[in-house]
Amino acid sequence: MKKKLVSIMMASTMVAGVLAGCGSSSGGAASTQASSDSTQAAAADTQAAAADTEAAADTSAASADEGKVLNIQCWNTEFQSRITDHYPGYEKVDDTTGKIGDVTVKWHITPSDDNAYQNNLDSILPDNESASADDKTDLFLMEADYAKKYVNSDVTMNIADLGITDDQIADQYQYTKDIVKDESGNLKGLSWQAASAGLIYNRQAAKDVLGTDDPDKVQDAVSDWDKFNSLAEKMKAKGYTMCSVNDTYRVYSNNVSGPWVQDGKVVVDDNIKKWADDSKTLADKGEENTYELWSDDWAKGKYPDGKVFCYFGPAWFFNFSLAADDASSIAAKGGWGYVQGPQPYYWGGTWIAAATGTDNPTLVKDIMLKITTDPDIMKEIAQKDSDCVNNKTVLKELASDDSGNLALLGDENPYAMLAEGADKVDMSNISDYDQGCNEEFQTAMKGYFDGSYKTYDDALAAFNKAITEKYPDVTTD
Amino acid sequence: MANGGKSSKVVRYNRWGYYFLIPFTAAYVIFQLIPLIDTVTQSFFENYRSGLKQIGPNFIGLANYVKILSSGDLWQYAKNTMIIWLIGFIPQIIISLLLAAWFTDPSLRLKGQRFFKTVIYLPNLIMASAFAMLFFTLFSDNGPVNSILMQLGLISTPYKFFSHVAASRCLVGFMNFLMWFGNTTILLMAGMLGIDQSLFEAAEVDGATPNQIFFRITLPLLRPILVYVIITSLIGGLQMFDVPQILTDGTGDPARTTMTMIMWLNKHLYSKNYGMAGALSVLLFIITGVLSLIVFRLTKTDTDR
């Protein structure tokens, strides 16, 4: 009896701990995508059966003289559910295996937490060519924050070497290509998502403060940072918090004039410095909070009592990060609106890359083309999974009629703005060190906003210290 | 004849003793000694990864040590570690001594001793990381602790526990205290039960007060166990990692004031910087050795007297 009691107590405490973990995860796009998977996975099974029979023929020919196992490295089941639902001829065998024709597809899922996904890639990719045929990694996924690390190395294949031509990917947005171009301009990956993002505002707050919730009028009030900051003051007067300082970070950091690391030295761009200055002012006046993204405190703004004016996010944010399935949330009542906000930016997105040494190049090419260029499949993805797909034509179609209206945005159709935003995103200044620099800069500046560092320079010194720990080959001022 | 037979038997038993030591020795050499030597060798090399590029290993002598010692960060983190350890250890040893004295005092005849011993030991069974997660949620800006304090009218705006140096250090110390006081209590109880009961009886007959008995008889005779507890706790404290790591998400916030030495070591593993990590480990080893020696010496002179 006593033992039982003890074990129950232990179990419940641990469960409490695990639940606590959900709330405080600090990852970026990866964690949202993870949360989206559970919803999608359920739907995945139903479509899979239908897709089976259609087109086993087109792929079986291709793989005749190639490897019998297609190994895919990924960090969650998002891509798996896209393949299961939308790739013709894919048969699901169990949670980590599938079949395309007579090729077995093996999914190797390593979560992103604590850098585990990249550590895994780092240990297998350099030796991929000499691995035995069935163990060779053929395809892997990457996120923008660290894509350059793999793109600028020999472990990823040139897309052109797979036989994919520029014409075939002409409908994709330029920024999705810039992120995965190596130093000599070779394209090394493709994405089916164009995650251009904007400002998602609380319509009630807009009515209270601006007297209107019309997207055009709201956009006028937030069209640059000066207007944004003066609106924050008015919001505060009516009891609203503008947003978290961490919400705006990516908007600033996507609009820089040079990469983080130049000639081996860390350079803090003026726009990033501006983020720190603006945020410090707003946080000190209590007009913005300093909550971490994805934290419980941050999430309270998704409900009317949270009294938060806006979030920043792309299309995937609408469905998976605004608690739309909770009846008491603002989203459930259609209480959000979408505008482009002060500066164009993007957030998240997954790129597909071919691993050097793959023994299934034809199949890899076909998967890439079908998922990232086929207009029918991409429209299916947009409608079923609410991805903002990386295809100009499909987005134009969605923007042109009511099929792109979203209930949680009060039936606003955001696709025209999303498409326009994707056109404007400029990611030519991305570097190998972005992930570490962005994370450490935000961590250091949080100390500045909270007052643990007295001055910006103290916080900057802490940032420099953290960067040299992470990247011993980089120098700082 | 008889003598010779006996002595050869003894020799044979000895040999069996050595046979039984083989598994331990083998495990020690493979899992402890070789990695230990490897760590020391690594510390003289430049050896890390930048992205997918492997840099080194290049022999660079003492450059890693110079870099660590010249930056002064190590002393900052050593100070953090010691402060947090003391915040946890001082209440831990006081409460444990008190509880152990009560539990072992036959004149008190405490009821439900087994229950309480289990309960005070329980926090130690929870994973430190789960425990840290729990505290992170409890003490977050809009967490339950803040709502209780606000409803009681003690504060008007949420108190940011993790943005204040003292509050975050105390939380880490408090969690270590909660996790380890049960363990210490049980160790001290074992020590106290080992003391000859007739001494207590004699003291009582002579009219000693409970306080006098505790300070004049229990504490001096408990010294060997106390030394053991202090040294093991000190070593454990110097290696403090999981609680502050999870509680601050590896940042050691606010402003790296809860960053312990091992957390710093862990920072170097992001770039697989085995050289720096090795040098840091060696320095840690030296610090631990020196501090343990000091504690040992301090307590030894007392017993010699």
B-chain residues near A447 (CB < 8 A): 253-255
Give residue A196's pLDDT band: very low, low, confident or very high (50, 70, 90). Answer: confident
Which two tokens mark A2? 């006593």
Q: Kindly report the nearest CA distance between residue A448 and chain B, in angstroms.
A: 8
CA distance linking residue B254 with residue A450, whole number of Å: 8
Q: B251, A24 in Cβ contact below 8 A?
A: no
DSSP letters spanning A106-125: EEEE---GGGHHHHHHHHHG
Residues of B in contact with A458 (CB under 8 A): 255
The span from the CA of A259 to the CA of A268, in Å, is: 9
B137, B254, B255 ranked by CB distance to A20: nearest: B137
Q: Which residues contact A153 (CB under 8 A, 6 or more apart)?
A: B51, B52, B53
Chain A residue nearest residue B160, CA to CA: A450
Nearest neighbour of A153 by CB, restricted to B52, B125, B251: B52
Chain A partners within 8 Å of B268 (Cβ): 469
Structural domains of chain A sorted by starting position, each given as residue range(s) with its CATH number in brackets: 29-194+348-400 (3.40.190.10), 197-346+407-470 (3.40.190.10)
Residue B4: predicted pLDDT: 47
Distance from the Cα of B126 to chain A's closest Cα (Å) equals 7
**Side-chain-side CA neighbours of residue B161 (13 Å):** 21
Beta-carbon-side half-sphere exposure of residue A329 (alpha carbons within 13 Å):
18
- Is pLDDT larger for residue B267 or for residue B10? B267
Residue type, A60: S
Structure tokens at B191: 């020590």
State the average pLDDT over residues A28-54.
41
Please name the residues in contact with B131: beta carbons below 8 A apart, sequence gap of 6 or more.
Answer: A13, A17, B123, B175, B178, B179, B243
Orientation of helix A375-385 relative to helix A392-400, angle to 10°:
50
Facing residue for B134 by CB, picked from A9, A16, A291: A16
Residue A55 is predicted with a pLDDT of 42
Residues A365-379, mean pLDDT to the nearest whole number: 90
How far does A26 lie from chain B, in Å, by closest CA?
A: 8
pTM of this prediction exceeds 0.90: no
E strands of chain B, at which residues?
Answer: 45-50, 53-59
pLDDT at A319: 73
pLDDT at B9 over 60: no
First-to-last C-alpha distance (Å) of chain B: 50
For B234, the enclosing helix (H) or strand (E) is helix B219-238
Cβ-defined contact of A153 to B53 (cutoff 8 Å): yes
Mean pLDDT taken over chain A = 83
Which tokens sit at A66? Answer: 């190639």
**pLDDT above 70 (res A12):** no
pLDDT band at B172 (very low <50, low <70, confident <90, very high): very high
Burial of A54 (0-12, 13-18, 19+ CB in 10 A): exposed
What order do you get walking across the sheet with A137-143 strand by strand? Answer: A90-94, A97-100, A103-109, A69-74, A137-143, A350-354, A190-191
Q: What is the mean pLDDT of residues B226-232?
A: 90
Output the six-digit token pair for B216: 């004049």
B156 close contact with A: CB closer than 8 A? no
pLDDT band at A190 (very low <50, low <70, confident <90, very high): very high
Chain A neighbors of B131, CB-CB under 8 A: 13, 17
Contact: B253, A446; criterion CB under 8 Å: yes
Show Cβ contacts of residue A244 under 8 Å, excluding neighbours closer than 6 positions.
A288, A289, A290, A291, A292, A293, A298
Predicted local confidence at residue B255, as pLDDT: 84
Evaluate whether A386 touches A90 at the Cβ level (below 8 Å): no
Which residues face A346 on adjacent strands? A196
List CB contacts (< 8 A) between B134 and chain A.
13, 16-17, 20
Chain centre to alpha carbon of residue A268: 23
Contact criterion met (CB below 8 Å) for A273 and A225? no
Q: What is the pLDDT of residues A253-292, one digit of tens each?
A: 989 999 999 988 999 999 999 999 999 999 999 999 988 8
Chain B's closest residue to A286, CA to CA, is B157
Confidence of residue B8 (pLDDT cuts 50, 70, 90): low
**Given a cut of 90, is residue A110 above it in pLDDT?**
yes
The percentage of residues in chain A with a pLDDT greater than 70, rounded to a whole number, is 87
CA A380 to chain centre: 20
Count Cα atoms within 13 angstroms, Cβ side, for B127: 12
The DSSP bridge partners found for residue A475 are A265
Whole-angstrom distance, CA of residue B133 vs CA of residue A14? 10
Set of chain B residues whose Cβ sits within 8 Å of the Cβ of A432: 51
Are A450 and B160 within 8 A, CB to CB?
A: yes
A6, A297, A473: residue with CB nearest B140: A297
Q: What angle do CA A320, A321, A323 make, to 5 degrees?
A: 90
**What pLDDT sits at residue A30?**
39
Taking one residue from A and the other from B, the number of pairs with CB-CB distance under 8 angstroms is 106
B51·A447 Cβ contact <8 A = no
Q: Is B257 on the interface with A (CB under 8 A)?
A: yes
At residue A41 the predicted structure's pLDDT band, cuts being 50, 70 and 90, is very low
Residues of B in contact with A21 (CB under 8 A): 133
Residue of B nearest to A22 (CA): B133
DSSP symbols for A262-289: ETTEE---HHHHHHHHHHHHHHHTTSSB
Provide mean pLDDT across the span B207-224: 89
A23, A122, A462 member nearest B255 (Cβ): A462
d(CA B16, CA B136): 53
The residues, ordered by sequence, that sit 6+ positions from A350 with a Cβ below 8 Å of its Cβ are: A33, A78, A79, A141, A142, A143, A191, A192, A193
- pLDDT digits 0-9 by tens, A305-340: 889 999 999 888 887 788 878 889 998 888 999 999
Residues of B in contact with A122 (CB under 8 A): 49, 52
pLDDT (mean) for A148-170: 89
- What's the pLDDT score for residue A33? 41
Q: pLDDT digits over A412-463, tens only?
A: 888 888 888 888 888 878 888 888 899 899 989 988 998 889 999 999 999 9
Q: In this structure, are strands A190-191 and A137-143 parallel, antiparallel, or unpaired?
A: unpaired
d(CA B119, CA B113): 10
Q: How far apart are the first and last CA of chain A?
A: 64
Answer yes or no: do A17 and B127 touch at CB < 8 A.
Answer: yes
Q: Is B105 on the interface with A (CB under 8 A)?
A: no
Residues in chain B: 305
Between A14-23, A224-233, A349-358, B201-210, the lowest mean confidence (pLDDT) is in A14-23
Q: Is B159 on the interface with A (CB under 8 A)?
A: no
Among residues A409, A446, A224, which one has the least CA distance to residue B249?
A446
The hierarchical CATH code for the domain B72-267 is 1.10.3720.10
The pLDDT, as a whole number, for residue A142 is 92
A264 phi/psi in degrees, rounded to 5: 75, 10
| Selection from A349, A356, A241, A335 nearest residue A288 by Cα | A241
Q: How far is B290 from chain A (nearest CA, A)?
A: 27
Within A315-377, strands assigned E span 336-339, 345-346, 350-354
Q: Judging by beta carbons within 10 Å of its beta carbon (0-12, 13-18, 19+), is residue A471 exposed, middle or buried? A: buried
Average pLDDT of chain B is 87
Predicted pLDDT at A20: 45
A252 CB contacts (<8 Å, ≥6 apart)?
Answer: A271, A272, A274, A275, A343
Contact residues, chain B, for A13 at CB < 8 Å: 126, 130-131, 134
User: Which residues, listed in sequence order, are joined to residue A99 by a DSSP beta bridge?
Assistant: A91, A104
Contact between B256 and B264 (Cβ < 8 Å): no
Alpha-carbon distance of B142 to B289, in angstroms, equals: 43
Q: Do A6 and B50 touch (CB under 8 A)?
A: no
Q: Which of B129, B136, B253 is the closest to A452 by Cβ?
A: B253
Query: Could you say which of A26, A291, A473 has the minimum Cβ distance to residue B55?
Result: A473
What percentage of chain A exceeds 90 in pLDDT? 36
Nearest to A122 among B52, B55, B273 (CB): B52
User: Is the distance from CB of A348 to CB of A315 less than 8 angstroms?
Assistant: no
| Cβ atoms B103, B185 nearer than 8 A | yes
Determine how β-strand A69-74 pairs with β-strand A265-266. unpaired
Q: Is the pLDDT of residue A411 over 90?
A: no
Q: What is the CA radius of gyration of chain A?
A: 23
The string of pLDDT tens digits covering residues A160-170 is: 999 988 888 98
Residue A182 φ/ψ, nearest 5 degrees:
-85, -175
pLDDT on residue A10: 56
Q: Which of B49, B117, B271 to mutate to test the interface with A (most CBs of A within 10 A)?
A: B271
- The percentage of residues in chain B with a pLDDT greater than 90, rounded to a whole number, is 45
Structure tokens at A217: 């009028």
Q: Which residue has the tokens 């990611």?
A: A427
φ/ψ of residue A184, rounded to 5: -100, 15
Helices and strands counted in chain B (H then E): 14, 2
Model confidence band, residue A6 (pLDDT cutoffs 50, 70, 90): low
Angle, CA of B93, B255 and A430, to the nearest 5°: 135
With H, G, I as helix, E, B as strand and everything else as coil, classify residue B194: coil
CB A208 within 8 A of CB A406: no
Residue A54 has pLDDT above 60, yes or no: no
> So what's the pLDDT on residue A202?
93
Q: Are B93 and B101 a contacting pair, CB within 8 Å?
A: no
Maximum separation of any 2 CA atoms in chain B, in Å? 92
Q: Which two tokens stand for residue A430?
A: 């991305």
pLDDT reported for residue A8: 60
Name the one residue in this structure whose structure tokens are 């331990």: B24
CB contact under 8 A, B131 and A26: no
> Which of B50, B60, B139 is the best mutation test for A, with the most CBs of A within 10 A?
B50
Q: Which residues lie closer than 8 Å to A319 by C-beta, 6 or more apart?
A: A36, A386, A408
Closest CA–CA distance from residue A217 to any residue of chain B (Å): 33
pLDDT band at residue A49 using 50, 70 and 90 as cut-offs:
very low
Using CA coordinates, name the residue in chain B closest to A290.
B141
pLDDT band at B174 (very low <50, low <70, confident <90, very high): very high
Judge: B133–A432 Cβ closer than 8 Å, yes or no: no
Whole-number Å distance between alpha carbons of A332 and A320: 12
Asked if the model's pLDDT at residue B20 lies above 80, the reply is: yes
Region B89-114 average pLDDT: 88
Q: How far apart are CA A246 and CA A28, in angstroms?
A: 11
| In the predicted structure, residue A18 carries a pLDDT above the cut 50 | no
Contact B134 A465 (CB under 8 A): no
Tell me the average pLDDT across B46-61. Answer: 84
Chain B residues close to A446, C-beta within 8 Å: 253
